[in-house]
Structure formats: structure tokens, C-alpha cells
Amino acid sequence: MSDYSDHQVECIVKLGGRAITHKERHETANTEAIQSAGALFSDTGIGKFIAVHGAGSFGHFEAKKYGVATGYRNSDGLTSPVKQVQMGLCKTRLSVTKLNHLLVSEFVQQGIPAVGMSPFNSYITNSKDSFKHADLDVLSQSIDEGYLPVLHGDAVLDQATGCSILGGDPLIEKLCCHFKPKRVVFLTDVNGIYDRPPDQQGANHIPQITVNQDGHIATTLATSMSGHDVTGGIMGKIDCACRIVKHSKGRTKVFIGKLESTYSKDLVRNGISKPEMMTEICYQ
């Protein structure tokens, strides 16, 4: 197992697609939320941070329409028209990189030395769920030189299926294995995790989710997900968070909270948590 006694980055921050875009309106950014995201990293002297953002209303529609997540071949041969899926990958990437450009532009305007980085250039998956290749040299050097890398969920090449979707959450899981951050903060549009969708009557906030040594959790959750979301929604996020905590044996702290809140900056910068307003994923 990786040695987590030497943390190579302070924090990896996930800016949820639902928080930084209006997810039900195609390619519509939430400008105020993006400005709030920039404020997380301003005046930091930047320190060693990595930002990863979801796609939200950028990319998900295209990926679903063209079947990018499943690719165009399997062990028996072609499963979909190659050109159609390839064009879907290109359109998906055009869309998600638009959002990346919007975030990086705002960060730079706020005086943050942010650089956009696309996983397509560095990652090749194998049957979607595992990695065939990951080149982290440029990312590592960028952090060492004092830049804030801003990555995103992306459409990537896949050895088995031709192409696939690499969501921001599994990307963070991979980054944790390499950089061993002190903490990972997932920032969404609500105050952490609830026992059912938070807009439902009777929804109760869950301040802590405990992961046991085999990676299971005892908390019962009922969640909802947008029909065009190809990355797993909130349950995918929780599963990813649990694996990070399990793999690090709790050495990497994991929190889920709200981007546009009074506590998000302290949480990202200093690890100061407010259990009544966020959710911590803990190792038992």
C-alpha cells in the first residue's frame, strides 16, 4: 500500500458539475459559483492544491447521445458505428473543455496561477474501470512549480472499447493514490449527504459516514440522478470517497460540502470542518 505519511499535496478539491453549472440547461455555467470557486484559491500563496471539476451541463448530453461511455467495440468486435461514437467523443470534449476554459479564465482573473489540463492527454483506460496508462509527470512538475492544475471529467481513449468516460471522481481516486493528499473536499450544491434527496420532505442531513475495513458503509441512502448523467451521480461520489478513505486507512480525510457556503474556504485551505453543515467520510 502507498505510504501516506508523506503527503505530496495539501488538498484535492472536486468542484461538482451541479454546483458550477445549471445541470438541466445545456452548456449553462453558474457564473457566481465559478467566482466562488476561484475565491477558494485566491490569496493562498497557492500551496500545493489540485482542482478537478465535473462537467455538469457541459458534455453529459453529448456523451449520452453518442454512447461515448460504452465505446464502439468489445471482445466480439464492433458494437456501434465507429465514426458516430468518435464524433461523439470529439463533441463531448469540445463541450467539457469550454467549461474548463471558463473556470481557468476566472481563476487567472482572480490572480491565481491556474492551468487547465485535460485527462485525454494523459490517461488511457482499460474496460472503463481500470487504467492502462497514466502520465502524471507534467501534472507533478506543474504543482512543484507553483501552479494550480485544473483538471476535469473527460472523454478518453480506452484500450478495450475504443473510448470511454473518465469522470472527475474516479480521476480524483487515481490522483490520491499518487499524491496522497491530506484531504479531499467534494463541493456540491448542498451541505453534504442526506438520507434521501435533500429536496424531499423529511430529508435528514448526515454529518458522518463511517467506512469499515472492507469498504462497506452502514448508512441507508436514497439518491436521485439526472437522466443524462453518465458518471454515476451522488452514489458514485460516495463510493469513490469511501474507497479513498479505505485505501488510505483514514490518512486522507474526505469531506463533502457546499461550494457556495461560509465554510468551504476554511475547509479547503485549512481543513477546518463544521460537522453540522457538511459530511465527513470516516475510517473505522
pLDDT for residue 2: 47
Where are any strands of DSSP class E within the chain?
11-15, 49-53, 73-74, 77-78, 114-116, 123-126, 130-134, 148-152, 154-158, 162-166, 183-188, 193-194, 205-206, 208-211, 253-258, 279-283
**pTM attached to this predicted model:** 0.91
Cell of 148: 494550480
What single DSSP character describes residue 277? G
pLDDT per residue rounded down to tens, the chain (284 residues): 445 556 789 999 999 999 999 988 999 999 999 999 999 998 756 679 999 999 999 999 999 999 999 999 988 888 889 999 999 999 999 999 999 999 999 999 999 999 999 999 999 999 877 888 888 999 999 999 999 999 999 999 999 999 999 999 999 999 999 999 999 999 999 999 998 888 889 889 999 999 888 877 866 665 554 444 444 567 778 899 999 999 999 999 999 999 999 999 999 999 999 988 999 999 98
In whole angstroms, what is the distance from residue 195 CA to residue 231 CA? 21
Cell of 74: 468489445
- Cα–Cα distances in Å, from 6 out to 47, 107, 178, 255? 15, 28, 11, 20
pLDDT for residue 220: 61
Sign of the Cα pseudo-torsion (263, 269, 275, 278, in order): positive
Nearest to 100 by CA among 133, 55, 49: 55
Widest distance between CA atoms in the chain? 54
Q: Are 204 and 190 in contact (CB under 8 A)?
A: no
CB-based contacts of 216-224 (< 8 A; 24+ apart in sequence) = 217/242, 219/195, 220/195, 221/193, 221/194, 221/195, 221/196, 222/195, 222/196, 222/197, 223/196, 223/197, 224/197
pLDDT for residue 195: 86
pLDDT for residue 208: 92
pLDDT for residue 62: 96
pLDDT for residue 233: 64
C-beta atoms surrounding 116 within 10 Å: 20
In whole angstroms, what is the distance from residue 39 CA to residue 31 CA? 13
pLDDT for residue 224: 52
Identity at 71, one-letter amino acid code: G
